[in-house]
A = this chain, B = another copy of it.
Amino acid sequence: MSIFFGVDIGGTSVKTALVSGDGEVLAKEPFETFPDRGYRDLCVRLKKSLEGAVSTAGIDIKQVSAIGVGVPAFIDIEQGVVVEAVNLGWYDVPFQEALQEIAGLPVVLENDANVAALGETWIGGGRGAKTALCVTVGTGVGGGIVIDGKLHRGVNGMAGEIGHLVLMKDGGPQCNCGNRGCLETLASATSIVREAKERQQQGQLPPDANIFGAEDVFKLAQMGHEAAQQVIGTAADWLGYGLALSAVTLNPDRIVIGGGVSTAGEQLLGPVREAFARYALTRTVEAAVVLPAQLGNDAGVIGAARLALQALR
């Protein structure tokens, strides 16, 4: 049986894993990204990571059929080029060709949110879905769409970018994309922390409470702090509203919520489901289950392996 090398490139770390044809992770071999060293250097370190993982898994490297790579970037699939990866500082990088040459294996690239969506629909929370919308809520909000097991990339790979649904038509917080009031500015970990800190400055939350991440805000809410509960309630309402807008177009049977913020579980998903039901057509709501992602940090490497598997077929 073929084995695939799944790669998930992030701004600070690169996750890698050997994954079997049925989605089992055989070995992981993560390392630091150091994007400043350039993409060819990263390719060399990816080859080492592959060799290390092969050794750990106790397999023959000849069993590895292909490499799938998720990149936090806008990608030109046909050319195999990373067009724009802001977090890596990479622009127009011919990554596919470079990695193929250095690793000696077929390589396929994809946007990281799309890759995570492929992972979750393969063996995670979206397994068996006919039409799945997979959303990652972390520092930003990313998304990917999988229809009948295949990625719907859209015409230039932008499909499912629901973090950039403009939810506040007449303005709102400034988004990195240039617009204002995008979902990402209203329902990401970043926005939850920003809002909670504002409430803290206004004296609505204990001045000695550490608010570094969204998880701190969830904790304050669980402890009964009303302002923290409001911050989370508002973010959940925006997220549910964004999902409703997306679902009215897509009509999915599954909406999978992953990313750091989703680890809050029902504390977040409960109010998200309520908002989703409020803002979408009844039949659309009835058709769709909103549930948490299951693969955690492995969604990327598993999805990247799936990508490689599908490309080989």
Cα of A123 to Cα of B177 in the assembled complex, Å: 36
The answer to whether A156 has its CB under 8 Å from any CB of chain B is yes
Determine if B154 and A252 form an interchain contact, defined as CB atoms under 8 angstroms apart.
yes
Determine if A159 and B249 form an interchain contact, defined as CB atoms under 8 angstroms apart.
yes
> Contact check: which of B74, B241, B250 meets A154 at CB < 8 Å?
B250
The answer to whether A162 has its CB under 8 Å from any CB of chain B is yes
Determine if B245 and A159 form an interchain contact, defined as CB atoms under 8 angstroms apart.
no
Max chain B C-beta neighbours (<10 A), residue from A133, A177, A250, A286? A250
The answer to whether A231 has its CB under 8 Å from any CB of chain B is no
Provide the residues of chain B in CB contact with A169, threshold 8 Å. 167, 241, 279
Chain B residue at minimum C-beta to C-beta distance from A251: B154
Cα of A177 to Cα of B284 in the assembled complex, Å: 12
Chain A interface, number of residues (Cβ within 8 angstroms): 44
The answer to whether A89 has its CB under 8 Å from any CB of chain B is no
A133 to nearest B CB, angstroms?
A: 8
| Residues 143-196 of A at the B interface (beta carbon under 8 Å) | 145, 147, 152-162, 164-167, 169, 177-179
Cα of A159 to Cα of B284 in the assembled complex, Å: 8
Determine if B248 and A164 form an interchain contact, defined as CB atoms under 8 angstroms apart.
yes
Cα of A79 to Cα of B231 in the assembled complex, Å: 46
- Known contacts A130-B155, A159-B250, A169-B241; 19 further A-B pairs (Cβ under 8 A): A74-B283, A147-B152, A153-B251, A154-B250, A154-B252, A155-B251, A155-B252, A156-B251, A158-B281, A158-B287, A160-B249, A161-B284, A162-B248, A166-B241, A177-B281, A177-B282, A179-B279, A246-B249, A249-B249
The 6 lowest CB-CB distance pairs between A and B, nearest first, are A154-B251, A159-B251, A155-B253, A158-B251, A246-B249, A156-B287
